[in-house]
Each structure stands twice: as structure tokens, then as C-alpha cells.
Amino acid sequence: MWRFAVTLSRRCLLPARMSIRLIETEAPPPVSDSALTRPPLPLITSRDLRYKPRYAESRQAWLCNMDTVEEEKLGLIDLHPSVFAVMPRMDIIWHNYNWQKKYRFVDFKVEYTRAEMPGGGRKPWRQKGTGRARHGSIRSPIFLGGGKAHGKRGPITKFFMLPLSARVNGLINTLTCKYTQDDLVIVDSLEIPSDDPKFIEDLIEHRKWGVSVLFINDIDLMPRNITLATDKMESVTLMPYYGLNVYSMLKYDTLVLTLEALNKIEERLLFNLHRADIQQPKFMQAMINQSVPINSD
């Protein structure tokens, strides 16, 4: 691109002389299509917060973009204080972490009894006259290399069901910790302009999101570009909002939520937080058992 530059003579008494030069300038950077369709800044997103406490103030977070490597703040959004501003309790978070860690583990180890051990059919020595104790097989549990009397008989699981109130409070406490530690990011969408993994790597490095990132979308059908870009990246995971859990939030450094996913997460947590039967686990278990169809096929 070229532009004209006009210079005037320094001598004020003489007639003014004008000279015209052509100066080469840099072309402006291309503008993405999403930036053209984006509303003008600043964008203040107002949200209707249900069950808002009377004496608690709403928290605020920036709404950012995902279509450029450089972070662009699109506006401020309000966060519900009952979800992102509670007093963190490490015991509730630990109970949720321990519950998820145990139901993921299944012990398949099987230890043989003396009847299942190979060998040991004959009597090791005669019954009397040797001065030693009486034995009938070297595969007895008191022999080294023998069978096990009360060994493991897998598969064994230590699964137990955590109460609904503990699960709901575990998610709320973990979200509060993520927000307090500035590890919670709210974006408008997960649409990125390229499916190149280099783009998402540069974006994570430029915004200092840490080693691992967990992206939460409002639906389980993720955008095409970010799916292809993060397919081979082990430190980046895409997850729908209904799969959000305490174990994954603790595992990844940064939690990235879309605005729609934030609305649905808050809606479900507030519903379960204010339901009348949340403190009645026996009643909840009975309702779950009644809801299972008899003929599932």
C-alpha cells in the first residue's frame, strides 16, 4: 500500500515549495470473520441469577475470545455467589476426590489356595520318626511358596455412593477454588479459526493457562477445528458440561467454560442445592430404584 507525503520548505520568507514522495506502508492485519460479526465493545453480559443470597455480592469475571491468540476482553459477566464465592472446605473436596478415585479402581488380583496351587501332591516326609512337624503338602499356607488361606479373590471394587449433598458441595467448592486462584476462564465459544495444533499451543502459552487445560462446552458435539487441533494433545481435554467433576478440575491447571456451559452448570447446581430432598439420601435412593425400568430392552 502506498500513500502520499507532502513536505513544506523550512524557509518561511520564500515562496513555499512542495515536494511529493511515495512512502511504502505496511498492510493492515486481516480481520477474522468472527471479529466482524462481534458486537461493539464493551459488551456487558447481564445474567439473571436465581436464588441470589440477600447479603452476598455477585462475583465478576471477564468474557474472553478464542478466535485470536491475543486475549481480547469482550465484557464482564456476573457469577453466582452461591457457586463461586463459598467458603472452601478441603474435606468436602477430598471426599469427592477419594470417591472418584476408588470407583475408578478394580482389583483383579486372584491369590490361589492350597488346592489351586500346582504341585505338592506327595507327602514331603513320613509322618513319624523324623523329629519334624507333621505335614501333608508343601503347598500348605505355612510353607514359603504355598497357597494363601484368605487371599484376594478378584475382581474386587471399593465402590460406594457419595451422598447427593456431598457431590453438589464438592463441585461448588472446587469451582470456588478455581475462581479464587484465577484458574477459571470464561469464553464466548470454542470456535477457533484453524485446526492446526500450533494455534492452540500458542494460545495456551500466550495466555499462560498452564500445562494442562480442560475445555467445557454446553453440548457434547464439539466444534470441528478445536477437536482436530487437540486430538493428539494429551494435556488438553474437551468435555460437555454434564461431565464436569471434581477429579478432572483438580487434574487440570486451567478450567475454560463457555458462556452457555456456565449458565447450564449454575442452573443445575442451584437446582440441586435448593431442592427439598437433598438431605434425604434414603429417599433419593428409593426414587432412583423406582425410576429404573423393569424391561430395559
What pLDDT band is residue 177 in, cutting at 50, 70 and 90? very high
- Calculate the average pLDDT of the chain: 82
197 and 266 part of one domain: yes
Residue 187 scores a pLDDT above 70: yes
126 and 92 part of one domain: no
In a domain, 13, yes or no: no
Name every residue whose Cβ is closer than 8 Å to that of residue 251 and which is 6 or more positions away in sequence.
212, 214
Torsion of CA 245, 95, 60, 215, to 10 degrees: -20
What pLDDT band is residue 120 in, cutting at 50, 70 and 90? confident
pLDDT of res. 265: 95
Structural domains of the chain, count: 2
pLDDT of res. 30: 52
What pLDDT band is residue 175 in, cutting at 50, 70 and 90? very high
pLDDT of res. 1: 45
111 and 173 part of one domain: no
Cα separation values, 279 from 45, 94, 270, 274, 287, Å? 34, 20, 15, 10, 14
146 and 237 part of one domain: no
Write out the three cell numbers for 121.
501332591
189 and 222 part of one domain: yes
66 and 152 part of one domain: no
Residue 209 scores a pLDDT above 60: yes
In a domain, 172, yes or no: yes
Cα separation values, 139 from 125, 144, 205, 223, Å? 14, 8, 60, 61
pLDDT of res. 53: 85
What is d(CA 225, CA 229) in angstroms, rounded to the nearest whole number? 6
In a domain, 259, yes or no: yes
Question: What tens digit of pLDDT does each residue of 238-279 get?
Answer: 999 999 999 999 999 999 999 999 999 999 999 998 888 765
Residue 144 scores a pLDDT above 60: yes
pLDDT of res. 25: 44
Q: What's this model's pTM, rounded to 2 decimal places?
A: 0.72
pLDDT of res. 32: 54
DSSP letter (8 states) at residue 45: B
155 upstream amide cis, omega within 30 of 0: yes
Kindly report the CA angle at 221 between 191 and 197, in degrees rounded to 5? 45
202 and 238 part of one domain: yes
Q: Which of 25-29, 268-272, 280-284 has the lowest mean pLDDT?
A: 25-29
Residue 13 scores a pLDDT above 90: no
Residue 297 scores a pLDDT above 80: no
Name every residue whose Cβ is closer than 8 Å to that of residue 164 and which is 6 or more positions away in sequence.
272, 278, 281, 284
70 and 188 part of one domain: yes
| Structural domain boundaries enclosing 229 | 57-103+161-289
130 and 169 part of one domain: no
What is d(CA 219, CA 229) in angstroms, rounded to the nearest whole number? 18
In a domain, 20, yes or no: no
Question: What CATH number has the domain bearing residue 266?
Answer: 3.40.1370.10
Mean pLDDT, range 35-49, rounded to an integer: 64
